[in-house]
Amino acid sequence: MRDGGKFGKVAREPGQDSPLSAALGLRDRDTVAMVSRAVARREVFLAYQPIVTAARQDRVAFHEGLIRLLDETGRIIPARDFISAIETSELGRAVDCLSLDLGLKALKTDPGLRLAINMSARSIAYPRWMQVLRRGIKGDPTVAERLILEITESSAMIMPDAVSVFMADLQAEGISFALDDFGAGFTSFRYLREFYFDILKIDGQFIRGIAGNPDNQCLTNALLSIARQFDMFTVAESVENAADAAWLTEAGIECMQGYYFGAPTATPPWQMAKVRMRA
Q: 167 near 199, Cβ under 8 Å?
A: no
Residue 256 has pLDDT above 70, yes or no: yes
Q: Where are the alpha helices (DSSP H) in 42-159?
A: 83-86, 90-109, 127-137, 141-145, 153-156
Residue 12 has pLDDT above 70, yes or no: no
pLDDT given for residue 197 in this prediction:
93
- Ramachandran region, residue 247 (left: φ > 0; alpha: ψ -120 to 50; beta: rest): alpha
Residue 14 has pLDDT above 50, yes or no: no
pLDDT given for residue 28 in this prediction:
74
Total-model pTM: 0.88
Range of lowest pLDDT (1-5, 122-126, 130-134, 272-276): 1-5
Residue 262 has pLDDT above 80, yes or no: yes
Residue 124 has pLDDT above 80, yes or no: yes
Better pLDDT: 220 or 10: 220
**What is the distance between the alpha carbons of residues 122 and 91, in angstroms, rounded to a whole number?**
12
pLDDT given for residue 277 in this prediction:
44
Residue 128 binned pLDDT confidence (cut-offs 50, 70, 90): very high
**What is the distance between the alpha carbons of residues 164 and 51, in angstroms, rounded to a whole number?**
25
Residue 1 has pLDDT above 50, yes or no: no
Query: pLDDT by residue (tens digit) across 78-121?
Result: 999 999 999 999 999 999 999 999 999 999 999 999 999 999 99
* CB environment 257-278: b (16+ within 10 A), e (fewer): bbebbbebbeebbeeeeeeeee
Mean pLDDT over the full length of the chain: 88
> Which residues are CB-neighbours of 4 under 8 A, at least 6 positions away?
none
Q: Percent of the chain scored above 70 by pLDDT?
A: 86
Q: What is the DSSP letter of 260?
A: T
Which whole number is the average pLDDT over 246-273? 92
Query: pLDDT by residue (tens digit) across 172-220?
Result: 999 999 999 888 766 656 777 778 899 999 999 999 999 999 999 999 9
Q: Which of 64, 73, 48, 104 is nearest to 273 (CA)?
A: 48
What topology is assigned to 45-278 in CATH?
A: TIM Barrel (3.20.20)
Better pLDDT: 194 or 10: 194
Residue 167 has pLDDT above 90, yes or no: yes
H/E stretch holding 21:
helix 19-41
Which whole number is the average pLDDT over 120-124? 95
Residue 22 has pLDDT above 60, yes or no: no
Amino acid in position 263: A
Which whole number is the average pLDDT over 30-56? 96
Range of lowest pLDDT (20-34, 112-126, 211-225): 20-34
Residue 62 has pLDDT above 80, yes or no: yes
Q: Which of 91, 153, 158, 86 is nearest to 124 (CA)?
A: 158
